[in-house]
Copies of this chain bind each other. A is one copy, B any other.
Amino acid sequence: MVSIQDVAKKAGVSVATVSRVMNNKKNISQKTREQVLSAMKELDYQPNEIARNLFYKKTDIIGVIIPDIGHPFYSNLVREIEIRLYSLGYKIMLCSTSLVPLREKEYIDMLRRHMVDGIIICTHSLDVEDSLGGGVDYHHLSIPLVSINRVIGKNIATVYSDHRRGGELAAKKLLDNGCRQILQIFGERHIVSHSDDRHTEFARCISQSDAELINYRMENDTFDFAEYSQLAARLLKQYPQIDGVFATDLIAAAFIHEAKKIGRSIPEDLKIIGIDGTVIAKVVSPVLTCVRQDIQQLASKSVEALMTQINHKTLNSNEILVGISLEEGETTL
């Protein structure tokens, strides 16, 4: 590795001068500047970012923690976050917990050690006060932090979709469509997550009607289509009377497939509403009706909230709500 010393020697100046040229400081004679520049070029010099990071105590790196980068929702979220951070000069350290709860804490510690400038976290695995001792004390983290779709603590910025509204929209739609036996599927609830709101609100709306609600809680969510298909087949058999389903896109897609297999027609005989509105919803046929999270907004607001913290300004509010919408497809009337 060629260092600033090598450049200095080659240019016949001191390292301070090289540093000045690198950082476009004033008060450098044109001649010296050119000498240094050409020495840099000749040696193909690249300033060592780590050394600078050590000095400035900042890395221009943001840690992004998600459950699974293979999942369309998260990969799209990361995509949008990446675009925004890149334009602000930040890089991303990708932390995909692979749905392993403990890994969240490991990643947080790693990111702290690595002096990242901030963290955006979007996992749902660990409890804030986890009984396993694997919990993370986010309050004492002293790193700019934004959580997406999850309540982490009183003083921690959270950007979240209006899941409550999503649950309401979905319930209304299914009820309007005349559904009477409605199944909703949700994941484990180890933590306080905004995403749960959609299911409680959904349940509340249904309970105010004369329709019946069947709740199914998944034990080990794997984000795997084959498993979802098995699950869908099993549930359709177990509850042959259901005429409405509310579940995340990929599960909803599995229901479409399995329902077709046993000759149930969609939407006439069975209505389905997906959650998230990823590309999956658009690709299935019939096209999935879904409550869509506005991923671009989630990304924008999160990055914005993070930058506010990084720049030592205070947020107007720690709770930032992003709208959600019902997107009509062909799985409802």
Contacts and interface: CB of A to CB of B under 8 A. Distances in A.
Contacts of A103: 86
Tell me how many chains of this kind the complex includes.
2
A264 interface: no
Interface stretch (A5-13, A110-118, A123-131): A110-118
A234 interface: no
Interface string A41-68: 0001011111101100101010010001
A185 interface: no
A70 interface: yes
Contacts of A50: 50, 53-54, 59, 114-115
Interface in A245-295: 250, 253, 256-257, 260, 279-280, 282-285
B94 A110 contact: no
B72 A69 contact: no
A319 interface: no
A25 interface: no
7 contacts: A48-B54, A48-B113, A49-B113, A83-B96, A86-B98, A86-B103, A257-B283
Give the 6 A-B residue pairs with the shortest CB-CB distance, closest first: A75-B75, A70-B79, A49-B113, A94-B94, A92-B94, A49-B114
